Amino acid sequence: MTFMVPAVNVADLKETTLLNMGIFALFVAVTMVIVIKASRNNKTAADYYAAGRSFTGPQNGTAIAGDYLSAASFLGITGAIAINGYDGFMYSIGFLVAWLVALLLVAELLRNTGKFTMADVLSFRLKQRPVRIAAAISTLAVCFFYLLAQMAGAGSLISLLLGISDWGGQALVIIVVGALMIMYVLIGGMKGTTWVQIIKAMLLIAGAAVMTFWVLAIYGFNLSDLLGGAVETSGNPNMLNPGLQYGKTETSKLDFMSLGLALVLGTAALPHVLMRFYTVPTAKEARKSVVWSIGLIGLFYVFTLVLGYGAAALVGADTIKAAPGGVNSAAPLLAFHLGGPLLLGFISAVAFATILAVVAGLTITAAASFAHDIYASVIAKGKADPETEVKVARKTVIVIGILAIAGGIFANGQNVAFLVALAFAVAASANLPTIVYSLYWRKFTTQGALWSMYGGLGSAIILIALSPVVSGAKTSMIPGANFAIFPLSNPGIVSIPLAFLLGWLGSILDKKLEDTTKQAEMEVRSLTGVGAEKATDH
């Protein structure tokens, strides 16, 4: 079985720059018109943050898939499979199975209890101010890590498409992406952002489907032959077996466990995903949206398996690693190999759109959390009118946009799937224990919530700072220094159990009792949806 593997000449890519930019500009123009149209009835805070709760389950499900299938999934996972083989597939599985946690334990109850943000739910039956501040801080931290990953993806993509490898050129493009994103969010609010997500999700899934079909067609729709091709090109039969990346030492095996834990527990604690459940009118629609997104996301991850091994077989790991943008360039290079400049242009424009839309979604979440939880509830002590609150949210959008641009310029070049996994670890440690305890454990207290949130957030961030991600290895962010005391690159295996433990310990040691009336109210509301459902069915 021999397959000719024509080399992908990376230098050829430069000639397609104008075409790529043209397709991307078209996407921006079309979505901008939609955003402006969608934003016409943005009047209240519920309109701005929660799109007036007007989306249907399938629409919102597609938007959730759009939020979730970020550059990390598309560029990062395809690249990880192309280079590390089976170990990259692990990301797909963790990212998908994680949705069951969201579906079974969190989505509907959260939809019934809150209004706009995660903090609404967490502070429902506990002391408002401290819990709200803690939840807002962890929301901002998770959004920041996630933003960093997306902006790093933007940098990789640009360097590949324009062949720009100098710092200034890449920085300029990251600034353009950031500025566009700020415009979307300012003009469109949640409604505009949701529509951008829906369009982008459909384009992304369609693009991946075309490429998958194409790759399979080359191998006569025989998955086994495709895998054989990947082994042949890489010259390494272990491409198909677990352990290529993580199987080297006992430490790296533990790192694999840590990654697996963070992936499966992170999703249900991502603030920008949680906020999406508020854009639908009822818990039943929230359930429908999760079902839709599980379907779409699952389908997409099956595609990434084919695309990853396809890139390994047809483009080759060495070409991918050598290309500007490194690991993250596997999917665009595969597109170029298959369909030439036109498919590359389309796929790159979609990948750009993905980054833009996800960044917009993260920004609106962070802005809502700051305006609603910190400004309105803490600084203005609940006396701010909704109009001022929305004004504050808009100003926050600009600040976060600038921070994201700055962060993105520095995080350039890291594998985006890996960076996103860190955001998952932070989310799972800081938020998940408190979400689960406050929904299901009657004796949970304010002290437990604070210990768990600050303990989880703090330990996750400190462990990342002391890990090989930041210093002590060739691929670190600060390669020169070495203060990596913690050997694992993902902190989940330590920080997640610690946060659960702290939540339990803080609660049983708390001498103050919580308001049982509030607990009853939260439980009844969360399970029945009273007060949160639009009065449509009676």
Binding site for other proteins (CB under 8 A): 44-46, 86, 89-90, 92-94, 96-97, 99-101, 103-105, 115, 222-225, 227-228, 231, 238, 240-243, 246-247, 253, 256-257, 260, 264, 284, 287, 290-291, 294-295, 298, 301-302, 386, 440, 516-517, 520-521, 523-525, 527-535, 537-538
Which one, 321 or 525, has the nearer CB to other proteins?
A: 525
Least gap, CB of 442 to other proteins (angstroms): 10
Least gap, CB of 94 to other proteins (angstroms): 8
Buried b (16+ CB within 10 A) or exposed e, 465-503: bbbbbbbbeeebeeeeeeebebebbbbbbbbbebbbebb
Q: Name beta bridge partners: 471.
A: 478
Q: What is the CA radius of gyration of the chain?
A: 23
Least gap, CB of 238 to other proteins (angstroms): 8
Which one, 475 or 528, has the nearer CB to other proteins?
A: 528
Q: Per-residue DSSP letters for 223-262?
A: HHHHHHHHHHHHT-GGGGSTTTTT-SSHHHHHHHHHHHHH
Which one, 513 or 535, has the nearer CB to other proteins?
A: 535
Least gap, CB of 530 to other proteins (angstroms): 5
- What CA–CA distance (Å, rounded) separates 381 from 375? 8
Tokens of 76: 């990062």
Least gap, CB of 263 to other proteins (angstroms): 9
Least gap, CB of 336 to other proteins (angstroms): 26
Which one, 2 or 517, has the nearer CB to other proteins?
A: 517
Which one, 102 or 161, has the nearer CB to other proteins?
A: 102
Q: How many Å separate Cα 81 from the centre of its chain?
A: 19
Which one, 267 or 363, has the nearer CB to other proteins?
A: 267
Q: Name beta bridge partners: 478.
A: 471
**Alpha helices (H) in 315-329, listed in sequence order:** 317-322
Which one, 107 or 359, has the nearer CB to other proteins?
A: 107
User: What Å distances lie between residue 121 and 16, 108, 114, 132, CA to CA?
Assistant: 49, 12, 5, 9
- Quote the DSSP letter at residue 135: H
SS3 content of the chain, % helix, strand, coil (to 5): 80, 0, 20
**Nearest of 332, 362, 360, 337 to residue 347 by alpha carbon:** 332
2: Cβ contacts below 8 Å, ≥ 6 apart:
232
Least gap, CB of 424 to other proteins (angstroms): 14
Per-residue HEC secondary structure of 367-412 comes to: HHHHHHHHHHHHHCCCCCCHHHHHHHHHHHHHHHHHHHHHHHHHHC
Least gap, CB of 123 to other proteins (angstroms): 16
Which one, 91 or 486, has the nearer CB to other proteins?
A: 91
